[in-house]
């Protein structure tokens, strides 16, 4: 039985709205509870020997279609989260980064994002990447255009290098809440990923469940197209 390394973990954090609805609460309460779980899971990953990169889907290019009030709330929550969690990043040696097109965000939020990126740039236990205004098709189109603009040949390597980040491909992709789809997340980087879908709603997700999922992943056989 092979013991796979888990360097890059990606998570589609889904189910905040349903979690809140089940409790008769406003959807925003679900997002607030979800932000707490982001903190716990990030800390767990920083302390984990193998995991070097954690990519979290925080806001997709399609999320702008939500009611304006919910979009505004998510923007404020992300900003508040970054402000509050800087000590967590520093204490746990976590570098913060983003993927996605930040240009549509407010100057306030962009400033906060850049502040935390700058403050944490030399940290090395874990890189936490938030996907913000991120869509994989959008990322791939922007990458191909970059390759063409540089008069380079369109090759797998050149496209890979022109993506939003030079980070490695994804080893394991988890989606919470029972939905079994990828929703335009990291389409290029999941070519050979393992997938795990759990029915747990994101605000109920714990590091204990993550540990069990990692054990399940470790015992899988990965062949990358070989035999
Ligand atoms: C899906 O729940 C989740 C999101 C739209 C984004 C994830 C946001 C968070 C976890 C909170 C804030 C993040 C950070 C980094 C502070 P949903 O609303 O689609 O749930 P539903 O499918 O049950 O409606």
CA-nearest of 48, 71, 51, 69 to 61 is 71
Say if residues 169 and 189 touch (Cβ distance below 8 Å): yes
Q: Is the CB of 18 under 6 A from ligand 1?
A: yes
Pick the residue whose CA is nearest to atom 5 on ligand 1: 59
Q: Is 77 in the pocket of ligand 1 (CB under 6 A)?
A: yes
This prediction has a pTM of 0.95
Ligand 1 centre to CA of 198 (Å) is 15
Ligand 1 mutation target, pool 26, 32, 56, 58, most atoms within 8 A of CB:
58
Catalytic residue flag (residue 63): yes
Secondary structure of residue 175 in the 3-state scheme = strand
Residue 203 Cβ inside 6 Å of ligand 1? The answer reads: no
Quick one: CA dihedral 179, 205, 210, 72, positive or negative? positive
Per-residue tens of pLDDT for the chain, all 227 residues:
457 889 999 999 999 999 999 999 999 999 999 999 999 999 999 999 999 999 999 999 999 999 999 999 999 999 999 999 999 999 999 999 999 999 999 999 999 999 999 999 999 999 999 999 999 999 999 999 999 999 999 999 999 999 987 677 899 999 999 999 999 999 999 999 999 999 999 999 999 999 999 999 998 887 777 77
């Amino acid at each position: 039985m092979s013991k796979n390394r888990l360097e890059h973990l990606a998570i589609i954090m889904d189910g905040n709205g349903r979690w809140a609805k089940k409790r008769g609460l406003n959807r925003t309460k679900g997002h607030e509870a979800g932000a707490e779980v982001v903190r716990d899971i990030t800390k767990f990953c920083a302390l984990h020997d193998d995991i070097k990169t954690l990519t979290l889907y925080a806001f997709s290019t399609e999320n702008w279609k939500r009611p304006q009030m919910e979009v505004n709330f998510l923007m404020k929550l992300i900003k508040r989260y970054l402000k509050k969690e800087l000590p967590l990043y520093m204490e746990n040696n976590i570098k913060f980064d983003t993927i996605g097109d930040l240009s549509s965000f407010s100057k306030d939020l962009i400033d906060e994002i850049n502040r935390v990126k700058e403050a944490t740039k030399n940290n090395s236990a874990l890189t936490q990447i938030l996907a913000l205004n991120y869509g994989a098709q959008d990322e791939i189109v922007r990458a191909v255009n970059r390759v063409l603009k540089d008069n380079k040949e369109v090759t797998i390597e050149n496209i890979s290098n022109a993506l939003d980040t030079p980070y490695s491909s994804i080893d394991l992709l988890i989606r919470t809440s029972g939905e079994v789809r990828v929703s335009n997340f990291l389409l290029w980087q999941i070519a050979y990923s393992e997938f795990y879908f759990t029915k747990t709603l994101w605000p109920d997700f714990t590091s204990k469940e993550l540990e069990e999922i990692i054990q399940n992943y470790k015992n899988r056989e990965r062949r990358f197209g070989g035999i």
